[in-house]
Structure 1
Amino acid sequence: MTASTSGLSGFRRAGAIAAAALAAISLAVAPGARADAAEPADATTGILPLGDADLTEVTTGRTLAEGVTLTRIMRGTEPAPADQINTTTRGPWVVNVLTIDPREARGHLKATYGPDLARVEKTTDLVRASGALAGVNASFFTFTASQLYPGDPVGLGLFGGKLLSEPVTDPAEANFVVDANSNRALTGKLSWSGSVRNRTTGATLPLEFINHPPVVPAGCATLTDQTQCTLPGDVVRFTPEFAAATPSGVGVEIVLDRRGCVVRTATTRGTALAAGQTSLQATGQDTVALLAVAGQGCVEQTSTLTDQDGEELPLRRGLFGVTGRYQLTKDGRIVVPAGAPGDSFFARNPRTIAGTTRDGKIVLATIDGRQTTSVGTTMDETAAVAQALGLEDGINLDGGGSTAMAVDGALVNHPSGAERAVGDALVYVDGPYRSGN
């Protein structure tokens, strides 16, 4: 998905170029470390470009499975004063790095969520429930914005070839996409378009969202009959994966069977969907358009993902994708923008990183933060860490209180508070990918 590639759909870039020297340092264990013994490496040469040059840095590592390693890097030895966490140049910093080498690994990396898309689960629980060896938190999600559907992804949610949440138009969104069949992964930015077309009349209506509660126009909030509203609303497609029931409220909802034919039409929203069914919801003036296009008969629904070069990404089985905020590195260069003064997102925080090396290794890393024992990183520092870890292309996943890495269902990092329940996770399962697993 980077601008230099000829498209995401073929995953042509991964594994095509020899490994860089930094990748050899950081994507297994550092020189001098024994992967199976978890012994400290030579601390005279640092990997992390953080803080003062004279800081002691110790690296330990171990092999989790064939082709999968866990590396822990500790830079700085003295706890930070509590009032200097955001400013100190002495650290300390604690970074955990999970590395998957597709040429050697027997398992697969995928994205997963809990019982449904709208709920949240702890990363440790998602790792256990998936039968996974290890995993990290992944997408940004609604969190406190909607207590009814806190796990709703804010951006791309692609699971086993099913697009359950569309990428947003915000230029800050960055996506991580992996093919579980080959463990080839790329990072960048996807776009989406969707529509509904009546098979008989040919009338077409654009879709705005997938599995996101539609907004009722403020000027029509008191109208029980939304078809009387003259303000534009939303048109949304819902699938059974979203929740036990679709969002309720004023508006129109049309339930379709697996062939796209109308099962029932309602002038209020909210219903349970059976397996194979989908529904279309509309609010505001869009209720009239939805009824005209899909109120009877059968419809065709289109859903198209494209990469930033405009090439279509086929939704095949085994394809997974999650959403981050800001690309950190691109073609080995740091590309993260400068943050606005006072923007807390760009200040020091716990971070979760995902990306790929030039020789196709996949790297998932966490940086503990907001603690005297690990101060966290600014966005600039996060990008520098990604580059130092050999990430040719890397993105910033959800961080802060969400940052978590689990191995065998137990945390290996230290979250800034109690482990937070999250929307989804990237997990490594030590076995071949099979559709549905």
Structure 2
Amino acid sequence: MTVSTPGRSALRRAGALAAAAALAAVTLGVAPGAHAAEAAGAALPLGDTDLTEVRTSSTLATGVTLTRIVRGTEPAPADQINTTTRGPWVVNVLTIDPRQAKGHLKATYGPNLSQVEKTTELVRASGALAGVNASFFTFTASQQYPGDPVGLGLFGGKLLSEPTTDAAEVNFLVDANTNRATAGKLTWSGSVRNRQTGATLPLEFVNHPPVVPAECAAVSDQTQCGVPGDVTRFTPEFAAATPSGAGVEVVLDRLGCVVRTSTSRGTALAAGQTSLQATGRDATALLAVVSGGCVDNRSTLVDAEGRRFPVRPGLFGVNGRYRLTANGQVVVPEGAPGDSFFARNPRTVAGTTRDGKIVLATIDGRQTTSVGTTLAETAAVAQALGLRDAVNLDGGGSTAMAVDGALVNHPSGTERAVGDALVFVPGRYRDDH
């Protein structure tokens, strides 16, 4: 049977109780093998059917609720985290109802795109009520630009990182003006074209350091290299300065006209300026295209049906790996045996319900107090939470959920700095650009 009793939920805010949320809390205990009432959602399809599942829900603001689900009661033996059917599992679920919520969901990346910040810091800095980590990013601490998104990065209608060609990449998009969210696969193409001559050069990347061909790594003048390289467009949002190194760089003003040209890479961009960098023999091609005129930047996003995807003010998009559900059905692949990505890990999920609610969820993992989920188990959880369409965001050590700038989940280690986050901010969306 389902037992419903009045309760209180304690959310920590700077070490104190969040009283407003606590007053609205309701605790729901799900008896072994039973199904929860409709308001609580179906019991999670994790582990043995006789496990006890307890849910504690809090109203954070009008139209915004936080539900904590604990399935299983006994800590897992440390050597059985990846195999146990007894759990436990700890899932935190943030639900936003656009019809009631007085705020907006958006993505944010901190001071610049190339660096990393903790999810708690991103929530605080954006004045958000709550948020979760989002995109996959470069991550490696030794990298000069660890926050560089590995895939789509769309912020306030500006494409700051292009989607990859990786078939596993899937994108979660939200219009901050309407709080309407969608999931799908976007592809991108870009080029620059000389307005006078019509000469055109394809772009490989947006805000991603170009690679110098290995055959020409020792060639300081890349115009002398006969091997194809990369062509990248940079914006001021990327970093304090563009990546330095061998190659050429052309700085353009807001009209696309040449401000300066250099036979090496690395410069600071003023507001409104962009730059084009090229390596290998593309360095010569870039200089030829920009010679004697101004250029137009062409950037096109296309959805899975081949239709042009319009980019407009207030549109945000982040990248994930693998769609979990589509039209309510589980769609994750099985994965290769031994592939740790498909094994039990901490997970972060974003999705939408049939009635338009937006759900952000975290599943703690790699701990005896919460073992985490395989990708297939994650998809089953998303389906049980009522997600018609759901995306697997960056997880593992990146998984984090914050309310009022304080963690409400338990990362598998210390909280990791991440590339960006999805955050719910009180009030109507205003374009900051």
* Normalised TM-score (structure 2): 0.92
**2:212 alignment partner in structure 1:** 216
**Which residue does the alignment assign to 1:170?**
166
> Once the 2 structures are TM-superposed, how far is the Cα of residue 146 of structure 1 from its aligned partner?
5.5
Match of 1:191 in 2: 187
Unaligned runs of 5+ in 1: 1-29
Structure 1 CA distance for aligned equivalents of residues 141 and 337 of structure 2: 24
The answer to whether the Cα contact below 8 Å between 1:254 and 1:295 also exists between their aligned partners in 2 is: no
Q: 1:80-137 CA deviation, whole Å, 9 max, x = no partner?
A: 0000000000000000000000111110000001110000000000000000000000
Deviations 1:254-298 (A, max 9, x none): 000000000000000000000000000000011111111013310
Q: Tell me the amino acid that sits aligned with residue 197 of structure 2.
A: T
Counterpart of 2:25 (choices 15, 38, 44) is 38
Distance 1:348 1:31 in 2: 30
Partner-residue secondary structure (3-state), 1:385: helix
Kindly report which structure 2 residues correspond to 1:341-360, keeping only aligned pairs within 5 A, or say none. Answer: 341-360=337-356
- Please list the CA deviations of residues 280-332 of structure 1 after superposition, one character each: whole Å capped at 9, or x if unmatched: 00000111111110133100001111111112222111000000000000011
Match for 1:119 among 111, 115, 120? 115
1:15 is matched with none
CA distance in 1, matches of 2:193, 2:247: 20
Instruction: Confirm or deny: 8 A CA contact 1:168 1:191 kept in the other structure.
Output: yes
SS state at 1:291 partner: helix
The CA deviation at 1:42 is 3.2
Equivalent position amino acid for 2:29 in 1: D
Deviations 1:121-169 (A, max 9, x none): 0000000000000000000000117520000000000000000000001
Instruction: Answer 1 or 2: higher relative contact order, Cα 8 Å, separation at least 6.
Output: 1
Percent identity (aligned) = 79
Higher strand share: 2
Within a 5 Å distance, the mapping from 1:176-325 to structure 2 comes to: 176-325=172-321
CA RMSD of aligned residues (A): 1.3
Alpha-carbon separation, structure 1, partners of 2:342 and 2:416: 21
Query: Helix, strand or coil: the match of 2:310?
Result: coil
Structure 1 counterpart of 2:58, from 58, 62, 70: 62
Q: For 1:41, what is the secondary structure of its paired residue? A: strand
* Amino acid across the alignment from 1:38: A
The answer to whether structure 1 residue 424 and structure 2 residue 411 are counterparts is no
Q: Which amino acid aligns with 1:152?
A: D
Mapped to 2, the partners of 1:295 and 1:209 lie a distance apart of: 21
Quote the offset at 1:40 in angstroms: 2.0
Q: Secondary structure at the match of 2:397?
A: helix
SS of the residue corresponding to residue 386 of structure 1 reads helix
Normalising by structure 1, report the TM-score: 0.92
SS in 2 for 1:212: coil
In structure 1, give the amino acid aligned to 2:353: T
8 Å contact from structure 2 (residues 3, 30) kept in 1: no
> Between Structure 1 and Structure 2, how many residues are aligned?
408
CA separation in 2, counterparts of 1:228 and 1:285? 7
Q: CA deviation at 1:41?
A: 0.5
In structure 2, do the counterparts of structure 1 residues 146 and 33 end up closer, same or farther at CA, with 3 Å as the change threshold?
farther
1:130 partner letter = S
Equivalences for 1:338-377 in 2 at 5 Å? 338-377=334-373
Q: Quote the Cα distance in structure 2 between the aligned partners of 1:232 and 1:77.
A: 58
